Chain A
Amino acid sequence: MANSNPSAAQAGHQVGRSLPRLEAREKVTGRAEYTHLMQLPGMLHAKIFRSTVAHGRIKSVDTSEARKSPGVYGVYTGDDIRKVIPDPYYGPAFHDQPILAIDKVHFVGEPVAVVLATDPHIADQAVQQIVADYEELPAVFDEVEAAANKVLVHDELKPAGTFADLKHLKGRKGTNIALDFRLRRGDVDKAFISAAQVFEHTFRTQKVLHMALEPYASIADYRDDGVTVHSGAQGPSFVRTEIARLLGWPENRVRVKVPYLGGGYGGKLYIKMEALAVALSMLARRPVKVALTMEEQFYTITKHPSTFRIKSGLDKDGKIVARKCEVWWNGGAYADVGPRVTQKSGFTASGPYDIDNVSIDSYALYTNLTPAGALRGFGIPQLVWAYESHTDMIARALNRDPLEFRKQNLLREGRPQATGTILKDAAIEKVLDRIAERLNWKQQFDHGQGVVRRGRGLAIALKAVISPTTSVAIVNIAGDGSTTLYCGTVDMGQGSDTAMAQMVGEVLDMPAESVRVVPRDTDVTPYDMGTLGSRSLFHMGHAVRLAAEEARDKIAALRRELGEPAGSNAPLGDLFRKKYGMQAGNIVGTGIYKPDYIPPDGSGLTTNATPFWMVAGSGVELEVDTETGLVRITRLINVADVGKPINPKIVETQLSGASLMQLGFSMFEKMHLDGGQITNASLADYKIPGINDVPPVMQNETVDTTQENGPFGAKGVGELATFGVSPAIANAIDDAIGVRLTELPLTAEAVLRALRAKDNKPLGEE
């Protein structure tokens, strides 16, 4: 294979290389391992019978016909699960999700029963013979309605012990609110009274899903003295802890192995199919594979739909003096990590602006829909959609240039962000300026004439990376000097194995290609909080750096011990041979990293909300066909502050891919819901971006910055380019045709309806 960067392939200077992914050969030859493709000897296939009602009491589940099918090994319901796991509820924030439904179902598609068979087709057919009878209950689907607590999804809240600040919710009844985050800064009511102008808008986002091309899959092999779980999981350590808790076992009897992931995007976080696979393997006493179909992904986890009411008060000079944010997050039937989305995104709900008086209320709500969790941004794309649309609407109302209006109000280095944490290493203005430069913002823009009109727009965003979280890494040098890295960060396409190897190589002065990165296996790879929220490069990066530095120090000590002259660069293998008389021994370095963090007080304020700020934005040029409403994006620019890139090429592809994913969420992706039923649960009816959806001109770049407390000056990337895309497009549509869309997606129909409404010629309802 030709090396794209041969001059840097020499030892040293490993950071900053555009090295192709270490696992590239495995992937292009079709040999890379994914859980969905794995088979174990004696394995049974599980097929799931799912609820057809959104909310109901289970009156009966008749599995008798299914059991009679030849080849069926067993049929199981929630009652069977309870025989092996007495309290079978799981979840990262709340222990609210049953492995199989117990007493009630809470959303359409909830797993109710399972058939096991050696042949998946037999299991599939037997599932069709199961009959369930429900007493249907009133259901609630809309997040704002859910907040009124007229229909209750759960009788009682069950927070997990994982997060100390949720404990007060334990046993709470009569509410759908799983968490309310509250921030109060300054005196927002007073500031609104004295404001020269006040603007208020409401924005909504739709239900969309991750739709990784490798659907969810877990295989469990339970033995009386331990269980091995193979899983497409973004957080092997969390899976281990949670399975151990469910079984009442010490963690070291649970082994979680994670090969490559065929996409994750937040969907495969925490625990998904793992608990079901383990319970079934306990019942069957055989290895069990739970591998979902594409359709079933619609019933597993989605992004949070949201409603965001945002109100801003401005003084006579156009300075924003007050901002009130109310955000309702539609968390679906089980909390998953919704409370964390609610709180952590709540920190920055008021945007990258310097506002003295801020009030934020962010509510995580239960509804009778597929649960919602993290999707490439932990809620930030929903917030940016609202606050950057709102920003443009104000600028237009004031007849101000949207760029200049932003620049007047931008949060700058050294100033307190809404939480009170001082902004540091967050190149907000630099990123914004670069987008504007790329768009030639200062130059006259041709808006076109006749049927096709042109517009341009931009948006800028700020995120506080989730904190506090811990990563641990081990670097192990063998007797011949070859080096192995043990790290639990899951490579799901973001190139983490490669970036981590580059950091090891940098410290130990060896080519990154020569570093072996051990695939995630909790029997050997140490703890990591999870591959999420763009945290890994920073947190695990530090742990890897520290581990490599410890190994480096031990090598130096060994050289001294062996009487090597100062400055000697005798090969490592020679040192080991000298020390042990043969090729033997190891040098092991470990690194543990956990940043400082101060939890928010009762007013949501803290002087240390995050170890690093994430900054990114997008610029868009587009054409709108005023006869059809069709929008064609002609140019998409993504600019981000990633500190010093560890691997510039991978950074660029991450920015590009993230923005194109968000382009799908912006323009057409939507789970259509009818009384809680998903009516387009297939790839035929739910369109994701294809090769023809790529704008003809795309530019992805980073600004020249250094994250001072980051490993080698770097910080996270994965989510960044999702942030600004949706509002930049809506702002450009407004620029082109003077209509404002406040709900995603921005379909041709939505554009045309808005245009016709503006012209007093509204289209009829569907």
Chain B
Amino acid sequence: MSTAVRTINFTLNGTPVTADVKAHHNVVEMLQTQFALTGARESCGQGLCGCCTVLVDGRAVSGCLYLAVFLDRADVVTVESLAASGRLDPVQEAFIECGAFQCGYCTPGFILMAKALLEQTNDPDDEQIRDYLAGNLCRCAAYPEIVNAVKLAARKNKAGSTGSS
């Protein structure tokens, strides 16, 4: 285990930041210990459950496997950025209105993935939603409600962009 510390610079939820990290630190650990952000959290530790999802340069990655040193000069977005202004994102609103979670532990990961999906496809069908979210697990199994929430978020986005909300 190397004890060498490297300083990295990156953008975290729109703000330029620096962090001192060791080679074995993953993104989740760095976010929790150095920035007190717990929205991305480790569960399986194998990149299989999606609880640790963060967006790096617009791409969803597993924060439990992604090493912090690789964030140097990257643009990092976590779930905490979505309601930074105090106003919930349409995806978050949709998750609440559809009851798309129970214990809530996996929820930030699902929300970030849904957000990434809706940026690629503004009106996904059920199959596209399931394909895209297949790498996220919810032990409470709120899957039917999650699919509904993504569809509702798409409608909300559409209404928002046409100014009719």
Contact = CB atoms under 8 A, between A and B. Distances in A.
B117 interface: no
A28 B45 contact: no
A653 B104 contact: no
A261 B141 contact: no
Given A121-B1, A213-B137, A36 B41 contact: yes
Contacts of B78: 30
B118 interface: no
B1 A653 contact: no
Interface stretch (A18-26, A200-208, A531-539, A567-575): A18-26
A121 B79 contact: no
Given A213-B106, A263-B103, A684-B48, A29 B1 contact: no
B88 A37 contact: no
A490 to B, nearest CB: 11
B140 to A, nearest CB: 5
Interface stretch (B55-63, B68-76, B142-150): B142-150
Contacts of A690: 134, 137, 143
B130 to A, nearest CB: 5
A655 to B, nearest CB: 11
A20 B99 contact: yes
A586 interface: no
A703 interface: no
A27 interface: yes
Residue of B102, B106, B134 most packed against chain A (CB within 10 A) = B102
A125 interface: yes
B49 interface: yes
Given A260-B104, A683-B44, A125 B1 contact: yes
Interface in A485-513: 492-495
Nearest to A29: B83
A214 interface: yes
Interface string A639-680: 000000000011001101100110000000000000000000
Interface stretch (A244-252, A408-416, A441-449, A691-699): A691-699
Contacts of B1: 121-122, 125
Contacts of A265: 139
Given A1-B93, A2-B97, A683-B44, A262 B102 contact: no
Contacts of B141: 656-657, 660-661, 689, 694
B122 interface: no
Contacts of A27: 101, 104, 107
Contacts of A39: 32-33
B147 A28 contact: no
A32 interface: yes
B143 to A, nearest CB: 5
A20 B142 CA distance: 14
Contacts of B106: 213
B66 interface: no
Contacts of A125: 1
A196 interface: no
Interface in A11-62: 20-21, 23-32, 34, 36-37, 39
B153 to A, nearest CB: 11
A215 interface: yes
A294 interface: yes
A493 B100 CA distance: 11
A344 to B, nearest CB: 24
Q: How large is the interface on B (under 10, 10 to 19, 20 to 34, 35 or more residues)?
A: 35 or more
B133 interface: yes
Given A492-B103, A691-B134, A691-B143, A4 B97 contact: yes
A563 B113 CA distance: 60
A492 B92 CA distance: 20
A229 interface: no
A37 B78 CA distance: 16
A211 interface: yes
A389 B65 CA distance: 44
Given A29-B83, A688-B137, A691-B134, A294 B44 contact: yes
B10 interface: no
Residue of B1, B104, B133 most packed against chain A (CB within 10 A) = B104
A657 B140 contact: yes
Contacts of A492: 102-103
Contacts of B39: 29-31
Q: How large is the interface on A (under 10, 10 to 19, 20 to 34, 35 or more residues)?
A: 35 or more
A198 interface: no
A263 B140 contact: yes
A493 B143 contact: no
A293 B43 CA distance: 7
A212 interface: yes
Residue of A32, A213, A260, A661 most packed against chain B (CB within 10 A) = A213
Contact of A29 (B43, B92, B136): B92
B17 interface: no
B29 to A, nearest CB: 9
B46 A653 contact: no
B45 A293 contact: yes
Contacts of A1: 88, 93, 96-97
Given A494-B102, A691-B134, A20 B96 contact: yes
B46 A263 contact: no
B99 A30 contact: no
A23 B143 CA distance: 19
B12 interface: no
Contact of B95 (A28, A213, A260, A263): A28
Nearest to A695: B144
A682 interface: yes
A608 B117 CA distance: 55
Interface string A580-604: 0000000000000000000000000
B111 interface: yes
Nearest to A696: B126
Residue of A2, A31, A39, A698 most packed against chain B (CB within 10 A) = A31
B51 interface: yes
Nearest to B131: A692
B102 to A, nearest CB: 3
Given A125-B1, A661-B141, A650 B146 contact: no
Contact of A214 (B33, B43, B95, B147): B43
Contacts of A657: 102, 140-142
Contacts of A694: 141, 143-144
Given A28-B95, A650-B99, A684-B46, A493 B140 contact: yes
Nearest to B103: A493
A493 B104 CA distance: 7
A214 B130 contact: no
A121 B106 CA distance: 24
B43 A28 contact: no
Given A28-B111, A37-B32, A493-B102, A213 B92 contact: no
B96 A262 contact: no
A18 to B, nearest CB: 8
A260 B88 CA distance: 21
Contacts of A26: 104
B130 A692 contact: yes
B102 A28 contact: no
Contact of B97 (A20, A31, A210, A682): A20
21 contacts: A2-B93, A4-B97, A20-B97, A20-B99, A24-B95, A25-B88, A29-B79, A30-B37, A213-B44, A213-B106, A214-B43, A262-B43, A264-B103, A295-B45, A493-B101, A494-B102, A649-B99, A657-B142, A660-B143, A690-B137, A698-B144
3 nearest interchain CB pairs? A30-B39, A262-B105, A493-B102
Given A31-B80, A656-B141, A694-B141, 5 more contacts: A212-B103, A260-B104, A262-B104, A650-B99, A690-B137
Interface of A: 1-2, 4, 20-21, 23-32, 34, 36-37, 39, 121-122, 125, 210-215, 260-265, 293-295, 492-495, 649-650, 653-654, 656-657, 660-661, 682-684, 688-692, 694, 698
Interface of B: 1, 24, 32-33, 37-41, 43-46, 48-49, 51, 78-80, 82-83, 88, 92-93, 95-97, 99, 101-108, 111, 130, 133-134, 136-147
